[in-house]
Chain A
Amino acid sequence: KQEVTQIPAALSVPEGENLVLNCSFTDSAIYNLQWFRQDPGKGLTSLLLIQSSQREQTSGRLNASLDKSSGRSTLYIAASQPGDSATYLCAVTPGSSNTGKLIFGQGTTLQVKP
């Protein structure tokens, strides 16, 4: 059974700091891994999708890496800003099924202090 874990559960950093969020999964048989952002009381906003054959994806100040063999992904946020404060969720699409369902981690709640 696929399980996804995110560490730490919460993180507080001063503005301008570079930071790394971690995501690990137990079964390396995945289609892809996707990072989302969730603001309080809101839906999920897709940040980056990494296919199982890829090593990393970049979008602006965000860079996500994937090491499928070790079951790990990181989301790197450069020059953090108060507007980056949110909960960040990672989710994998299991390769055992083509339904496209997502298995989520519990999320990391990030606070960037001005």
Chain B
Amino acid sequence: SQTIHQWPATLVQPVGSPLSLECTVEGTSNPNLYWYRQAAGRGLQLLFYSVGIGQISSEVPQNLSASRPQDRQFILSSKKLLLSDSGFYLCAWRMSADTEAFFGQGTRLTVV
């Protein structure tokens, strides 16, 4: 069966520090991968998606970037965190637009 792992679960980082959040999927090949952010009172917003290795699309301009160095690995990064980057970050995967989407357990990021 397929599983999705996301780490770390919680992270407290100072403003201006770098960020790296990692997500891996097991039990499937060539999934579509997604990074969403859930900010308080604002619902879930898609940040990045990837349909293949090295293929990254950004949905909103921001201080973050994403990479997909391997088929089942998706990384969310920042060179210098801002206070506004605080939030709950969720990784997700699905095989295609007409299949079920699955989410990881999320990372709570607090920028101080």
Contacts and interface: CB of A to CB of B under 8 A. Distances in A.
A34 interface: yes
Contacts, number: 65
B97 A98 contact: yes
B25 to A, nearest CB: 13
B101 A100 contact: yes
Range, interface on chain B: 20 to 34
Contacts of A44: 90, 92, 103
A93 B43 contact: no
Interface string B70-100: 0000000000000000000010101011111
11 contacts: A34-B100, A34-B101, A41-B106, A43-B103, A46-B101, A98-B96, A99-B51, A100-B49, A101-B34, A101-B46, A101-B49
Interface of A: 31-32, 34, 36, 41-46, 49, 51, 89, 91, 93, 97-102, 104-107
Closest CB pairs A-B (n = 8): A44-B103, A100-B97, A43-B105, A104-B44, A43-B106, A43-B103, A31-B97, A49-B100
Given A45-B103, A101-B49, 7 more contacts: A36-B103, A43-B104, A44-B90, A91-B101, A99-B49, A102-B36, A102-B46
Contacts of B98: 31-32, 51, 93
A44 B100 CA distance: 12
Interface of B: 6, 32, 34, 36, 43-44, 46, 49, 51, 57, 59, 90, 92, 94, 96-106, 108
Contacts of B92: 44, 102
A74 to B, nearest CB: 19
A37 to B, nearest CB: 11
Contacts of A100: 32, 34, 49, 94, 96-97, 99, 101
Contacts of A31: 97-98
Contacts of A43: 6, 90, 103-106
A80 to B, nearest CB: 24
Contacts of B57: 99
